[in-house]
Structure 1
Amino acid sequence: MKMRFLAVCTALAAATALTGCGQSADQAAGRQKVTLWLMKGSASEDFIDRFTAAFEQEHPALDLDVRIQEWTGIGDKVNAVLDGTSKEPADVIEVGNTQVAQYIETGGLSELTLEGLREWGSKDWLKGLAEPGSINGAQYGIPWYAANRVVVYNKDLFANAGIKTPPKNRQEWIQATQKLDKGDQQGIYLAGQNWYVLAGFIWDEGGELAVETGGKWVGTLDDDKALAGMEFYKQLQALGDGPKAADEETPPQSEVFARGQVAQIIATPGQAAEIEAANPVLKGKLGFFPIPGKTSEKAGSVFTGGSDLIIPERTGHRKGAVDVVTALVSEKWQTELARTMSYVPNKTTLAHVVEGNEGAANMAPGAAQGRATPTSARWAEVEAKNPIKPFMTAVLTGQDPKQAARTASAEIGRVLSSDR
């Protein structure tokens, strides 16, 4: 790739009488600057400083320039890099795992399949990070870190109900939650439109949100397996007073939990800090357990949030960019990131590195069963309209599940398969 870049530079110089092709003095002296875009909040300043220093020490010919980006408007900025119109350079970019599909469709990403197989241990990657970054067997997004939902619970309320150990399967979970749901106390606070949680229950049943068949996407909420997932959601949701026509942010579920009369919520472990800030009395009284699966042998499926790393095809420093990714996904820096930020590492084989962090350790079993949304570049449009939410409310308020699911499935298929 470097030879190709130099050849292009020479051709441009001959044709336009330009010199250097944008090379800096450091590059002319044999040093190259590799630019890494990270999203705000993904890594601490201390982590970035330590990583940069170690990387430059191990790669004397490279200078690493880390630039922090805001999530708002990032799509347009990344697309500008990919189509060559950006005024800001980027050789490696952190992107949300569910965003990769839209960038693949846009074009301009380097394929990294071989590097994944040879250097980065792709066989052990978390599926919820790896699958959204792949299309037709070619890998473009490289898993970096994951975060997923667990059950956050009030230890005192569990003890008062005589529940000594967290439930391991759905049956135990329902039985425990029934014990906890009494008087003014809610067994669980589960908003009626928390579709991320529903997705996990659907996946546990073997269902899907949508599938691609014959080049066309079809919504599948009306499949019997998906409906079984919704039925379990309804059963669990009834063991509390969560609103049937709102999501987990209306009102914020952490605020409801902080009042002290809710035994459980389903959330990322990071919400524990919000709960304790709202009600310091609960400090030290919060526990975590993986969302239970249908059997005790494995945790329930969860929606995997997190980030992938991409390399623009137009980078002039592909080897340096690959070196940056190699370092970021190495066991050393995966361990550092996971322990610093309470994330789940990008591989199932690294789950042990967060054993001392209760929140992250309880995310890891779910992450091994993690999934992502359908790998369509238009899934973001589905989420914007989100026909899943009214489907959930319809079922929870007594409407016919099959009919409500057909309506939602038809809208999902229409959005995913329509021409832009």
Structure 2
Amino acid sequence: MKNRALVLSTALACTLALGGCGMVPGGSDQRTVRVWLMQNSVSEDFLNRFTEAFEDEHPDIELDVTFQEWTGIGKKVTEALAGKDTPEIIEVGNTQVAGYAESGGLRDLTLESVRDLGGDEWLPGLAEPGSVNGSQYGIPWYAANRVVIYNKELFAEAGIEEPPTTRAEWLEISEKLDTASQDGIYLAGQDWYTLAGFVWDEGGELAVEKGGEWEGALHSKAALRGMEFYRELQSHGDGPKDADEETPPQAQVFAKGRTAQMIAVPSAATVIEKANPELKGKLGFFPVPGKSAEAPGSVFIGGSDLIVPEKSKERAAAVEVVSALAGEEWQLELARTMNYVPNKTTLAGELEGAEGTSAMAAGAVRGRATPSSPQWAEVEVDNPIKPYMTAVLQGADPATAARSASDRITSALRP
């Protein structure tokens, strides 16, 4: 939505001083940068502060921001990229960039990203999906990833003083916390994003590219080891084996007060505390543990990149706006306002004091995205990873079930 007060103020100033809005002091043409952001990505307060600061610093540029709904956004962006009246900047999911780049409608931002934005410090889980064939089309904006949310009171009752730092320790304490009256961990059987992290930790992949074609890779020995760890961890609680984390919503289960741990983005703590105010002050956070204490575990990282359509009218001005949004000052403002992870690994240390966000930022260093195939969205339409996980948890032969899932992934990736 547009900051109408600023727009009217700018328009009035132009009218009084210049007799119109075509020019600004100094003789430069007034440029309007139209920006599509996704609904709820930023607060109105953040948008107003950024707009005011940016337009003060760039009096020849006016921002026109519109919020878009996620539902149906793929078709809308594709049509905008091919149309004649295209916005200057579009926020897209980090895993969507490859599909849009394939259409040929995006500006190559490689020079800008390398020269001005410190691209060598970006989170890999945002930067890599935005890069296609060596060209950077998506500029990382913000990220979010899963952490472990735990009940400090239940940990204390079990004599556990510190969160685990390795997967072996994690299994040990989860088993200790799993009793007749409580779950050591609530982990639904089809939480495939969490499984992906375990697969990556073992050196496996969900899919790999060979000879220019993608194929499923869940049947590799490394990926099977990731599934085995998932099975062990999931056994220390009563999460359903045939449903994902939203069926039922795991935050509502945790809010009952008899679950020691769950894996979710930190904002789930707000949902938990709203459902059960008695848990306020009793929730803690730690990064998903890795195989050794030297680094946290791999996690799926979601978030957004900013793209500049090739057909937009004000591409140079758009790059200035993107540079500001992706720069250090507004990255930290966005992280503090919205509890996101900044786009650079070097900014994580600036978030001390925000326990959940700090844990998320620590884990984001090992964050990764789904395979960069433009067809990956087709895999998720009827996701074969979910029934594969359920089959293994219910006793099916892992190798056989994994091969079947891999074959279905391959089919989806080869239209």
**TM-score normalised by the shorter chain: which range applies?**
over 0.9
Please give the alpha-carbon distance, in whole angstroms, between the structure 1 residues aligned to 2:87 and 2:159: 55
2:315 equivalent in structure 1: 318
Q: How does 1:17-416 map to 2 (within 5 A)?
A: 26-27=21-22, 30-84=29-83, 89-416=86-413
Tell me if structure 2 keeps the 8 A contact 1:342–1:354: no
CA 1:27–1:204: 2 relative to 1, 3 Å: farther
Please give the alpha-carbon distance, in whole angstroms, between the structure 2 residues aligned to 1:285 and 1:82: 48
Tell me if structure 2 keeps the 8 A contact 1:378–1:415: yes
Tell me if structure 2 keeps the 8 A contact 1:220–1:226: yes
Query: Aligned AA for 1:377?
Result: P
What's the CA shift for 1:107? 2.1
Q: Deviations over 1:358-389 (max 9, x none)?
A: 11100011100000000011111101110000
Any idea what SS the aligned residue of 1:249 has?
A: coil
TM-score relative to the length of structure 2? 0.93
What's the CA shift for 1:28? 6.0
Greater displacement, 261-270 / 89-98: 89-98
Please give the alpha-carbon distance, in whole angstroms, between the structure 2 residues aligned to 1:41 and 1:274: 16
Tell me if structure 1 keeps the 8 A contact 2:84–2:311: no
Query: Aligned AA for 1:206?
Result: G
Query: Aligned AA for 2:274?
Result: A
Please give the alpha-carbon distance, in whole angstroms, between the structure 2 residues aligned to 1:356 and 1:44: 21
Q: Deviations over 1:108-153 (max 9, x none)?
A: 0000011110001110010100111111111101100000000000
Please give the alpha-carbon distance, in whole angstroms, between the structure 2 residues aligned to 1:192 and 1:106: 36
Please give the alpha-carbon distance, in whole angstroms, between the structure 1 residues aligned to 2:111 and 2:388: 42
What's the CA shift for 1:105? 1.4
What's the CA shift for 1:316? 1.2
Tell me if structure 2 keeps the 8 A contact 1:244–1:393: yes
Query: Aligned AA for 1:49?
Result: N
Please give the alpha-carbon distance, in whole angstroms, between the structure 2 residues aligned to 1:350 and 1:310: 22
Please give the alpha-carbon distance, in whole angstroms, between the structure 2 residues aligned to 1:305 and 1:293: 19
Tell me if structure 2 keeps the 8 A contact 1:200–1:300: yes
Query: Aligned AA for 2:30?
Result: R
Please give the alpha-carbon distance, in whole angstroms, between the structure 2 residues aligned to 1:330 and 1:133: 17
Query: Aligned AA for 2:299?
Result: V
Please give the alpha-carbon distance, in whole angstroms, between the structure 1 residues aligned to 2:267 and 2:381: 25
Any idea what SS the aligned residue of 1:395 has?
A: helix
What's the CA shift for 1:26? 3.3
Query: Aligned AA for 1:26?
Result: C
What's the CA shift for 1:60? 1.1
What's the CA shift for 1:85? 5.1
Q: Deviations over 1:152-173 (max 9, x none)?
A: 0001000000000100000111
Q: Deviations over 1:195-226 (max 9, x none)?
A: 00000000000100000100111100000000
Q: 5+ residue gaps in structure 1?
A: 1-24
What's the CA shift for 1:312? 0.3
Query: Aligned AA for 1:319?
Result: A
Any idea what SS the aligned residue of 1:335 has?
A: helix
Query: Aligned AA for 1:76?
Result: K
Q: Deviations over 1:315-345 (max 9, x none)?
A: 1111100000010011110010000001100
Tell me if structure 2 keeps the 8 A contact 1:27–1:33: no
Any idea what SS the aligned residue of 1:99 has?
A: helix
CA 1:27–1:300: 2 relative to 1, 3 Å: farther
Query: Aligned AA for 1:83?
Result: A
Q: How many pairs align?
A: 392
Identity %: 63
Q: 5+ residue gaps in structure 2?
A: 1-19
Query: Aligned AA for 1:79?
Result: T
Query: Aligned AA for 1:44?
Result: S
Any idea what SS the aligned residue of 2:35 has?
A: strand
2:14 equivalent in structure 1: none
What's the CA shift for 1:104? 1.0
Greater displacement, 353-362 / 368-377: 353-362
Any idea what SS the aligned residue of 2:128 has?
A: helix
Q: Deviations over 1:31-54 (max 9, x none)?
A: 111111111111110000000000
What's the CA shift for 1:417? 1.4
Query: Aligned AA for 1:71?
Result: W
What's the CA shift for 1:27? 4.3
